[in-house]
């Protein structure tokens, strides 16, 4: 847990401790990850993202296979190639390696297409979940609701303060009247207060490891992938 999160929790707990006994705070928690697993819309969105990742990884593998084939051919013939021929082969390998790294960054980088697609596809569902959890908390009179799957360590909590099942039932009852994921539907929003929205995303699937940076192609520089 990073220092910012710890500092924020410390401030929250300090504020709660400063409240008069007569103004006891009501606290509950949910498991957002468990909620998402129960929603068909979230599962379908995940399948769409996985399909994109599979497609891009296949394209990336084809490019790397092409590089490996060129390298193997160069490695076999380098002793009989002229200096001009070696320079040409090395340039081709370096250019292809650059395209491979560019493709990986465009698809799997921090601001790449996977990041943007995940935000586009998952954001409506995540907004709905947060809005409905917020509405449930307001109806039940809770002052704070933590997400135990979001990095907040809960050492112990009574089951009666777990709103996960209630939230799942509430969201599922709302979904039939909602647009399909990614079509621009707007989630219902409870009134008053503020809801916390996720500010960062991580790629759902792990991209392949990076290639060696392009450079002169020599025996000591590049090895078969």
What is the pLDDT averaged over residues 103-118? Answer: 94
Domain count, the chain: 2
Higher-pLDDT residue of 23, 65:
65
Which of 177, 203, 220 is at the close of a domain? 177
Residues 125, 118: Cα–Cα separation, whole Å: 11
Q: What percent of the chain has pLDDT over 70?
A: 65
Higher-pLDDT residue of 157, 205:
157
Max CA distance (Å), the chain: 89
DSSP string for 47-79? HHHHHHHHHHHHHHHHHHHHHHHHHHHHHHHTT
61 and 108 both lie in a single domain: yes
In DSSP terms, 28 is beta-bridged to 145
Q: How confident is the model at residue 117 (pLDDT cuts 50, 70, 90)?
A: very high
Task: Give the domain extent around 83.
Answer: 51-113
96 and 144 both lie in a single domain: no
Domain-located, residue 19: yes
Give the pLDDT confidence score for residue 200 in this predicted structure: 37
Q: What is the pLDDT of residues 16-62, one digit of tens each?
A: 444 454 457 888 989 999 999 999 999 999 999 999 999 999 999 99
Q: What is the pLDDT of residues 121-151, one digit of tens each?
A: 999 999 999 999 999 999 989 898 988 887 7
Residues 141, 200: Cα–Cα separation, whole Å: 29
Give the pLDDT confidence score for residue 213 in this predicted structure: 37
Domain-located, residue 212: no
Task: With a cut of 70, say whether residue 178 has pLDDT above it.
Answer: no
63 and 173 both lie in a single domain: no
Give the pLDDT confidence score for residue 175 in this predicted structure: 77
By C-alpha distance, which of 127, 152, 132 is closest to 27?
152
72 and 93 both lie in a single domain: yes
What is the pLDDT averaged over residues 162-180? Answer: 76
Tokens of residue 36, six digits: 């998402």
Q: Please report the beta strands in the chain, taking only residues with DSSP state E, as ranges in sequence order.
A: 27-30, 144-147
Q: How confident is the model at residue 84 (pLDDT cuts 50, 70, 90)?
A: very high
Residues 63, 97: Cα–Cα separation, whole Å: 9
Look over the chain and give the mean of its residue pLDDT values, rounded to a whole number. Answer: 75
Range scoring the smallest mean pLDDT among 67-71, 163-167, 216-220: 216-220
Give the pLDDT confidence score for residue 70 in this predicted structure: 96
10 and 104 both lie in a single domain: no
Domain-located, residue 163: yes
Which of 85, 113, 141 is at the close of a domain? 113
Domain-located, residue 183: no
Task: With a cut of 80, say whether residue 10 has pLDDT above it.
Answer: no
126 contacts 198 by C-beta, under 8 angstroms? yes
Domain-located, residue 129: yes
Give the pLDDT confidence score for residue 158 in this predicted structure: 74
CATH code where residue 150 lies: 3.30.910
37 and 138 both lie in a single domain: yes
């Amino acid at each position: 847990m990073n220092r910012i999160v710890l500092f924020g929790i410390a401030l929250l707990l300090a504020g709660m401790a400063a409240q008069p006994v007569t103004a006891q705070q009501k606290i509950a928690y949910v498991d957002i990850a468990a909620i998402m697993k129960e929603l068909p819309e979230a599962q379908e969105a995940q399948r769409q993202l996985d399909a994109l990742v599979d497609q891009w990884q296949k394209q990336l593998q084809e490019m790397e296979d092409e590089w490996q084939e060129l390298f193997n051919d160069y490695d076999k013939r380098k002793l009989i190639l002229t200096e001009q021929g070696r320079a040409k082969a090395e340039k081709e390998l370096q250019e292809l390696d650059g395209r491979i790294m560019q493709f990986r960054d465009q698809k799997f980088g921090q601001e790449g297409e996977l990041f943007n697609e995940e935000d586009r596809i998952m954001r409506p569902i995540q907004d709905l979940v947060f809005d409905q959890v917020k509405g449930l908390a307001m109806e039940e009179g809770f002052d704070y609701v933590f997400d135990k799957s979001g990095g907040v360590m809960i050492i112990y909590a009574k089951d009666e303060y777990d709103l996960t099942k209630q939230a799942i039932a509430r969201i599922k009852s709302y979904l039939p009247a909602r647009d399909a994921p990614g079509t621009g539907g707007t989630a219902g929003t409870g009134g008053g207060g503020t809801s916390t929205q996720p500010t960062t995303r991580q790629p759902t699937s792990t991209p392949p490891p990076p290639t060696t940076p392009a450079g002169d192609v020599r025996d000591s520089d590049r090895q078969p992938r």
